[in-house]
Amino acid sequence: MDRFLIRGGRALSGDVKVSGAKNAALPILAAALMVPGKVRFENLPHLNDVTTMLQLLGRMGVEVLLDDTGSVELDASSLNSVIAPYDLVRTMRASIVVLGPLLARAHQAEVSLPGGCAIGARPVNLHVKALERLGVEFEVADGYIKGRAPGGLVGGKVLFEKITVTGTENVLMAAVLAKGESVIENAAREPEVTNLADCLVALGAKIDGIGTDTLRIEGVDALRSGRHRIIPDRIEAGTFLVAAAATAGSCTLIEVEPKHMDATLLKLEEAGARIERSGTTVSLDMRGKRAKAVDITTLEYPGFATDMQAQFVALNSVAEGSGRVTETIFENRMMHIAEMQRMGAEIDLYGSTASTVGVNHLKGAPVMSTDLRASASLVIAGLVAEGQTIVDRVYHIDRGYERIEEKLRRLGADIERVRL
């Protein structure tokens, strides 16, 4: 099992090329199941979750051809299975996004109940209820969600009682090949959902309202071959900016989409960072000054992203003053707090709110990752800590960050991967 060995205390400085977005790549890869031909996706991040999704598609008969330019060509002409088995799905909750495409293409699907990060309930009942509105019949048996639509999918109106990103993605993909018009209300507006919708349009789908909370889809008979570019990862980008801010350093992001990061950038400016946006770059400079603590409440996009919450708790732990971070999306996403306390952070947890009083220095200690973004926050804590920090179970971070230790070393961090 790999771990990171970090010797903290260095101000980060330099530039980082941002990878493609994991949370956009996974549903876009799943969309290939709907196309009886070749599709090409560019700017694909090299991540464990992406590898798992490609393996899952391969099990279903999809031909996968990766190249060294960060692109993948998929051909689902010979789709021969509608089963997403437990041995793959158990490691990644996002595997549920194959449900909608399989039902659209084959009118049946069997998807194992998903696994992944233990950050709280992310129930699939919202997906099931919504897809039933498109004519799907479901049963849950033997740990699998089994859906059938013998006569094909039919257009319908879906109103999500709670905003759900993967639920929106599943219904959107299913509706693209349904007969007639479908309307999705209270749809998620995250850039990753918009990127999926743009991809589907490039493949022949008819979708109105992209980027809004109401999507109208006119079903088509079939999708066609095509190509699409995956957007930059706004969470990876934000993580590097927070790391630079926590170390009183500077950082320039290359190949990023600034407009997707407004909530994060505004909070960094509030923390004292000088932020400059220019085309596809974002620069942060703390000018050697200690960050100021900020108050944050996570919300659905365009609010502050839950996936940036843990990183800002790490920033607040060494910032000047006191700050409050409240998590409203997932009820069990504060497991990094106890590990930071082991490093000397003064954090009180009241329900889903972490109240911090910034300390001058954290102290290196052995800590253990519990989920993907918690891993990133512990790495940030290690970068600002005095002495040596060992971050264990970094397989979590490998699910969502491409070569993070190499990119941090480029910024001047003293970090190495140790294999036991």
Helix axes 234-246, 372-384, angle to 10 degrees: 20
Distance CA(327)–CA(343), nearest Å, equals 22
Contacts of 221 (CB under 8 A, 6+ apart): 177
Reply yes or no on whether 251 is catalytic.
no
Catalytic residue among 117, 131, 134, 253: 117
Give the 3-state secondary structure of the chain: CEEEEEECCCCCCCEEECCECHHHHHHHHHHHHHCCCEEEEECCCCCHHHHHHHHHHHHCCCEEEECCCCCEEEECCCCCCCEECHHHHCCCHHHHHHHHHHHHHHCEEEEECCCCCCCCCCCCHHHHHHHHCCCCEEEEECCEEEEECCCCCECCEEECCCCCHHHHHHHHHHHHCCECEEEEECCCCCHHHHHHHHHHHHCCCEEECCCCCEEEEECCCCCCCEEEECCECHHHHHHHHHHHHHCCCEEEEECCCHHHHHHHHHHHHHCCCEEEEECCEEEEECCCCCCECCCEEECCCCCECHHHHHHHHHHHHCCECEEEEECCCCCCCCCHHHHHHHCCCEEEEECCEEEEECCCCEECCEEECCCHHHHHHHHHHHHHEECEEEEECCHHHHCCCCCHHHHHHHCCCEEEEEEC
Active site amino acids: 117
